[in-house]
Structure 1
Amino acid sequence: MPPPGPADHAGKRADCTQFEPVMDKIHVPRTGSGRPRRTPDSASADKSCSNRKIRAYLRKCGIRHVIPEKKDHKAARLRQGSRGGRPPGFDKGRYKDRNTVERAIGKLKQFRAVTTCYDKRGYVYLGTVTAAALLIWLRS
């Protein structure tokens, strides 16, 4: 049997490649009646999502974002001088709020089935993550 190829390791891809598909799955519930909104008010991400494609996607969708700029991107922008453009906006206070999400992900990773990601199908893995989230919620 030949060794698994790159297509067999879908879980090993960089997080930033899955940014748009994840954002397309978001449904923000309304407080009153009506269908859920498809776009959130804002998004926060770490430096791995600091690239032109993701920032353009968020700008096109009208989503405010807090993503720190990578050092090499900043250096390249500064090297270009006035042609380098403005630095992207960054709010340190809002970025610190990501801590809540990071802690929640840390709790999810305590479940072996979530961490190892043995499930071959996306919907099965989603069920595993949902069950783990329910257990965390019930324990708290």
Structure 2
Amino acid sequence: MILLTPELRFALRVNAMQARAAERADPAHDHDPMPAVKFFNPLGAGTWLATELDADCDTLFGLADLGFGSPELGSFSLAELAGVRLPFGLGIERDLSFFTPYRLSTWALWARRAGSIVWAETLLRRAASQSDPHPLPPDPEGDGG
């Protein structure tokens, strides 16, 4: 499977350019785009949400969840994702139906509290379908954020 279509590559590059421009204009401003693409391991817990693609066309930025209960914001390599070889001839896949109205900071908050991107996705869907728009899971650190 092609992990990035030209349209997704363009959207990720635009987000990266906007992030750099926002940083130059106001270093205190946090650029907070919506993830443009979701990758996942069809045989495991690995899930990645990407918002930006650097000029090298390999370095992605977003939320990475390797299945250890602590999703993290950071950079990861498109080439490394594409190079993963799994049993049965499988590899890392792109979620073809992924769309989100939520910004990366929302995903990071919910995924950290829930312990995974997959569980956060379930909670966000539930929240959207209920009258209470913010049923966050409890904060394990008790810091309110």
TM-score w.r.t. the length of structure 1 is: 0.25
User: Which protein is richer in helix relative to its size?
Assistant: 1
Which is bigger in relative contact order (C-alpha 8 A, separation at least 6)?
A: 2
Q: Larger Cα Rg: Structure 1 or Structure 2? A: 1
TM-score w.r.t. the length of structure 2 is: 0.25
User: Which protein is richer in strand relative to its size?
Assistant: 2
